[in-house]
Amino acid sequence: MSFLWTQTVDTEDNMSAKNTSQIPMQTVFLSEQRLGVLVWQRGEPAPVARLGLARDPLLCAAVAEKRAAREPGPGTLFHVDVPGGRGASARYAVVALGDEAVEVALVRPADASAALIDFVASVPFAFAILNMFLTNPYQAITVADHEGLMRYISPVHEKFLGLAPGAAMGRKAEEVIPNSRLPQVARSGKAEIGEMLQLGPGVTRIVNRMPVFEGGALVGAVGQVSFSGMPALNRMQQRLNQLHDEVQHYKRELHQLKRTPSPGAMVGSSAPMQRLAREIDAVAPLDVPVLILGESGTGKELVAQALHARGRDAQAPLVSLNLAALPATLIEAELFGYEAGAFTGGKKQGQPGKLEQAEGGTLFLDEVADIPMEIQVKLLRVLEDRQVQRLGASEGRRVNFRIVAATHRDLRALIDSGRFRLDLFYRLSGVVLQVPALRQRVEDIPALVQRFAEAFCERNGLTLPRMAPGVMSYLAQQSWPGNVRQLRQRVEEALVFCDGQLLSVENFARHQDLPARPAQPPMAPPAPAAMPLRSLEHAAILDAIARHGGNKKRAAQELGISRSYLYKVLAGG
């Protein structure tokens, strides 16, 4: 049911339904279920005072009480709560408009469908907030109906387009705003967020276009246009590019960590590895530079990862740079970074160097002996004053990190030949850690083979095969010039060519690294009868350790020897 309310007011400001001296009539359609009206004349209820919901005496009394207590003003919004049955209450939103002569209050339930009314009724400065959104000089609002006709444009947008206030109303959106897509959104109902809008030569803005629904029907679209300008857009783009680079860097680091054993649990329980583990635990929590020495393939980078993982803040960044993998012309840019436009071919927004990326964490410089002499001077300066200056920058930035360096080369020989600075060596070698070669820790081969085999099979969805007798003794007799890296390659290659059930010596001996013994075929392991007794003991112990997954106690029990004797044989005593 609907009500039709007609109000006439004479020139003396007296409300009367019968007076013939009238101003233009106001017509309001009311839904009996959803809306109510209360009218006051000079503070007193008018003859037609209650319509629709306002016929409820409790609601009328609550509105009158709240109205009397509100702050004066040309327009106010508030809400009232009307008690119901069983302790429940109903909330209504009230909009009061008028002046000293006549005042009208519109009432409706403050439910989810009336969120705007509830907002403005609950916030005393709601009008100021809405006005701020509409007149914001940095964010313009445009509104089009379902036919694509303009219904509203913010003043800042009108000024930008050279339009008089209200001049765009009723016109097609594409006639008013160049390249406008509001009509498409108003028809499709699909939002377009973060789009670029070309408003003219060299004029680009960020736009959000959102459809508007009412009662389930698509009634129009609203556009939000950012007028913060291209400098802000460029800053945002630079930040996004920087974050993208950092994400890619950490993805590469994560991929590398997945491919290698856990840095916190290095593989091997031999005496050299136990000593190295104790040294890592002693150094890791200290703010001291560390120089890692060892042959190629011994796992120097794993030592660096273990130092970081066992350090004071394992969540801080670990940034790695292999100096041997970069041409000399790029090392400086990678280390120190560069400003926008520093050189041709660089990123337009510039890029932070590894020194900056390692802020608060660890910088690992692999193959540090390959750093050019001119870069050594700059790196030494950074290590001394903790200030890094990007290429093309006019001033430096303070950085805080722990440096870990590694090399397989003889630094003393390089210093003597003038190819490495002695002062830089002292800066890098606060503590020196020596990583043992694989030939110095052959008793760790069973555990390493097990780790590499498990990782390879898991990565490729294969079943882990059994280890044939004699495999460990065969591997222990190899020279392993490539150390652990070479062992891993051989394990993975053998897994590729095994039958999936048994990993045998033949799978490892496809390419002999050592010259074949004249008395034996090159593809077969040495005959037990030709081996010295000590070698036979050593091979038997390695096979037993492999069968028990690296557990030396169980291996000694199976062989009927003491653990001390087992360690003595493994140590070569």
The C-alpha atoms of residue 531 and residue 174 are separated, in whole angstroms, by 91
| CB count in 10 Å sphere of residue 64 | 16
| CB count in 10 Å sphere of residue 342 | 16
Longest dimension (CA), the chain: 132
Tell me the C-alpha to C-alpha distance, in Å, between residue 22 and each of 16, 18, 38, 374.
9, 10, 21, 94
The C-alpha atoms of residue 126 and residue 104 are separated, in whole angstroms, by 19
Would you give the DSSP letter of residue 377? H
> Helix axis angle, 445-460 relative to 483-497, nearest 10°?
50
Q: Provide the residue-wise pLDDT of the chain in tens; the chain has 573 residues.
A: 233 333 333 333 333 333 333 323 233 334 445 677 878 777 777 655 566 666 777 877 888 787 777 665 555 677 788 877 666 677 787 777 777 777 887 787 776 556 666 676 667 777 788 788 777 777 788 899 988 898 988 888 788 788 888 888 889 888 888 778 889 998 889 988 877 777 666 666 778 889 998 878 899 999 888 765 556 656 666 777 778 778 877 776 666 555 554 544 578 888 899 999 999 999 999 999 999 999 999 999 999 999 998 887 778 889 999 988 888 778 888 888 888 766 666 676 778 889 989 988 999 999 999 999 989 999 999 999 888 888 877 788 888 999 999 999 999 999 999 999 999 999 999 999 999 999 999 889 998 999 999 989 988 888 899 988 888 888 988 889 999 999 999 999 999 988 888 998 998 887 664 444 343 333 334 444 444 555 667 777 877 776 776 677 887 887 778 877 777 777 665
Would you give the DSSP letter of residue 553? H
C-beta separation of 227 from 137 below 8 A: yes
The C-alpha atoms of residue 22 and residue 246 are separated, in whole angstroms, by 73
C-beta separation of 223 from 142 below 8 A: yes
pLDDT in tens, 256-311: 555 554 544 578 888 899 999 999 999 999 999 999 999 999 999 999 999 998 88
Dihedral angle sign, alpha carbons of residues 115, 117, 118, 122: positive
Dihedral angle sign, alpha carbons of residues 29, 33, 35, 37: positive
- The identity of residue 91, as a single letter, is R
Nearest to 221 by CA among 179, 251, 189: 189
| CB count in 10 Å sphere of residue 423 | 12
Question: Rounded to 5 degrees, what are φ and ψ at 207?
Answer: -130, 140
pLDDT in tens, 38-86: 787 777 776 555 666 667 778 778 887 877 776 655 556 777 888 776 6
DSSP 96-160: EEE-SSEEEEEEEE-SGGGHHHHHHHH-TTHHHHHHHHHH-SSEEEEEEETTSBEEEE-HHHHHH
Q: Return the pLDDT at 411.
A: 92
- The identity of residue 540, as a single letter, is A
Q: Return the pLDDT at 203.
A: 67
